[in-house]
Each structure stands twice: as C-alpha cells, then as structure tokens.
Amino acid sequence: MEQQPGGTPAGGVDTAVETIFRIESPRVIARVARIVLDVGIAEELAQDALVAALEQWPRDGVPDNPGAWLTATAKHRAIDLVRRRERYARKLEEVGRDLSLSAPHHIDEPSDPDDIDDDLLRLVFTACHPVLSAEARIALTLRLLGGLTTSEIARAFLVPEPTIAQRIVRAKRTLATKGVAFEVPYGPDREARLGSVLEVIYLVFNEGYAATAGDDLLRPALCEDALRLARVLAELMPKEPEVHGLAALLELQESRAAARTGPGGEPVLLKDQNRRRWNRMLIRRGFTALGRSNAVATGSPGPYVLQATIAACHAQAYAYEDTDWRQIAVLYGLLAARAPSPVVELNRAVAVSMAEGPEPALTIVDGLVGEPALRDYHLLPSVRGDLLARLGRTAQARAEFERAASLARNERERELLVARVRELRNREVPDR
C-alpha cells in the first residue's frame, strides 16, 4: 500500500482529507464567495481545493493547519478566476491587497455599527435571500454552511433526494443571475430574511446533534458553528425574542452533549444520562438567553422560545424522575398550535406517554402512521414500538423496532434499535 511521509497509508490520508474538508468547507466557501461574489462558483472552487488536497497530502503529508491550506488554495484559484474575467476588473481593484498571495487576505468592512464581520453569517443571509423560495433557501444553506450531502438534506426535509438536488442547483443559478450581494443586510431586509436564517441555524445544529447518517451519532463541528452563529445573531438583533429563543434552545441542548454518548460512542438515552455530566455553564447561558427573550417579547411565544422552554424543563430536573412531563406536554401542545408538524406531534406523544401513560400517546402516534412525511422516518416506528412494549404487546413492539432499524441511516442509532429488537425477542410471549 502507498505510504505518505511518516508511514501513514495513503488511504488513511484520503479519509482525513475528506473529514477535514467536511468540517472546513463552509468557511472556505464563505471566504471565497467574498472574492467571486457567486456562491455556486465558490463551492466549485472549494471542491477544486479538495481535489488538490487529495493529490498533494498523501504525497507531502497533512499540513499543520489544513483549514488554512484549503482556504488559501481556493482563494488563489478564485483570484486567478477574477483576473481572467474582465467584468471583475472593478472588483479586482477594490480588493487590492487581498489579491497578494503572500499577504493576509482582508477586506475593509463598512463602518456601520450594526454590521458584523463574519463570513459564515454573510453566507447564511445571502443564501436566505427572498429571491429564493423558503425551501430552496434552507436546502442551499444546509449544503453550503452545514456541509451536508444532498441525501442528508433530503432526510432532514423528509422529501426525495432528487427534489433537494434540483432545489440546490436552481437556487445557486438564481443567486448568480440576480446578482445577489454577498452581505448581511440592514434594517427591514435583514428582518425579512430572519425566519429562514433561524431555521437554517436550527437545522444545522440538529444535524450535528443527531447525525442523519454515518458512523457517529454526533457531529460536534456543526453544533459549534450553529451555536456560535446563534450567539452572534443574538448580539446583532437584541430586540428579537425568537433569536434569543433559538440561542437558548441550542445552549440548553448542547449542555447535554457529553452525556449523550457512552465510552464507545454509543447513544445514551435521556433517562439513562448522567446529569452530572451536563454542562452547567451552558445551562446558565441558556436560561440567560431565555430570560432575554421574555424581556423583549411583546406577544405570544414563538416556536423557538417554546422549544427552549421545553429544554429548560429538562435542565431544571436534577433526575429524570423529577421531569415535569405534564408541563412539557402542555408546551408541546402550544408548539403544535403555533408551528404544526408531524414531528412536533410525535414529540408531543412522547411527553403525553410520560404524563398520562402509553395508551393515550399510542392514539396520537397511530394518527401519524399515514403521514407521508413520516413514511421513512425511523423515529415513528421507534416511538410506537416503545409504547407497545410498555403496554405488553411485545411481538408488535418488536416488529416496530425492526422497521425502525431498517429505516435508520445512522449506524449508532441502528445499533440501539437492533438491541431493542434482541431484548424484546428474548422476553417475547404471544400478544393477547
């Protein structure tokens, strides 16, 4: 087998390159987009940098700062592209010093105190431009910012993969043909894009918190990026309760990260988590953000504030048995009214099962079985299997967990579901 310097197999370097690129690609794309002013071209140049890394790193070794290497390589290619195109002559003159390959790349920022120097946030707001449909904005930003594959985004949307692929291609084309500026907008324009931006940050965090596919349950880099963006946005828009609500939700969810997996990376269910491993600093930050949200609220709470309040109920319970499930069920009811979705109803069913028992919860879940959006969603048969097991309907429960395992694309989740199948098979008796 080919070796890289130091004796590491070249195949191992290829894997490292792909892992690093997945983590760094959003930053690379964001920084290159400021030069070429086209997110589609920026993504292509980032891919070119990946190809260069796959060619060079197995031979020369992985650089000390691989993210900087990828960014510099993509920027150099972007600069070459700008130089070749006459229509970028004015842009070439504006960036001036940024075109020096040996000097730090820098572009002077507007002096407006409401501006923010964050390329990733610019990327989010650009991809969430109102010239795109809501679905296209979210799909494109998950692709660019979250580094998610088309199949992962389709999983998050619960729609077919070709649909997502078409949305992404059309979105990039639209941004290019409309000449959308790569910027964080001001005033009303910023507020008009806020809902899409919040949803994108939320979905990126969710993908990091519970990866839809792969061998690992968690993707911490996505959680970190989403959490940082939520914090930055909260400082940028201090009078928006939903911004603080999202920040609170992510702080509180992230506080459980260390307790959510075991020594081997296996999932640890909420009821089995060691709550002493929950990060109390993040919990305090979450409660502070939730307090800020309530302080600036002028109407009924929005979906992120409601979800943050649910997360706060969990954070307040020092033991699983102390959880106020009745309050959580009420909050999920409010959330279902405010932002109805089959997934919210499924979560409400779980809370109802803990507050009132499995029978009324099963009625809710049975009403979701025919939902097209949940047809391939592994958590629906998983929840239904758990309720049936609690009701003593073991054979039916096992069948549900088998279906859930067949649908799960994350290997860690699949292993957990297979373990439930084995457990139920070992104690199975005929259902009455």
Q: Is 413 helix (H, G, I), strand (E, B) or coil?
A: helix
Distance CA 48, CA 146 (A): 18
Distance CA 21, CA 37 (A): 21
**What would the pLDDT profile of 176-232 be if each residue is shown by its tens digit?**
998 888 888 877 888 788 888 898 888 888 877 876 655 555 678 778 878 988 998
Distance CA 150, CA 169 (A): 11
pLDDT reported for residue 215: 54
* Phi–psi pair at 281, nearest 5 degrees: -65, -45
Q: Is 410 helix (H, G, I), strand (E, B) or coil?
A: strand
Distance CA 272, CA 278 (A): 13
* DSSP state string for 183-251: S---HHHHHHHHHHHHHHHHHHHHHHHS-SSBS-S--HHHHHHHHHHHHHHHHH-TT-HHHHHHHHHHH
Band (pLDDT 50/70/90 cuts) for residue 19 is confident
Backbone region of residue 299 per phi and psi (left: phi > 0; alpha: psi in -120 to 50; beta: other values): beta
Distance CA 233, CA 244 (A): 9
pLDDT reported for residue 256: 95
Of 417, 416, 413, whose CA–CA distance to 217 is shortest? 413
**What would the pLDDT profile of 138-156 be if each residue is shown by its tens digit?**
888 778 876 778 887 887 6
pLDDT reported for residue 5: 47
Query: Token pair of 356, please?
Result: 């009132």
Distance CA 348, CA 209 (A): 20
**What would the pLDDT profile of 291-301 be if each residue is shown by its tens digit?**
999 999 998 99
Query: Token pair of 334, please?
Result: 């409010």
Q: How far is CA 276 from CA 263, 272, 317, 318, in A?
A: 16, 12, 11, 8
The answer to whether 227 and 251 are in contact (CB under 8 A) is: yes
pLDDT reported for residue 116: 45
Residue 426: how many other CB atoms lie within 10 Å: 8
Band (pLDDT 50/70/90 cuts) for residue 273 is very high
Q: Is 267 helix (H, G, I), strand (E, B) or coil?
A: strand
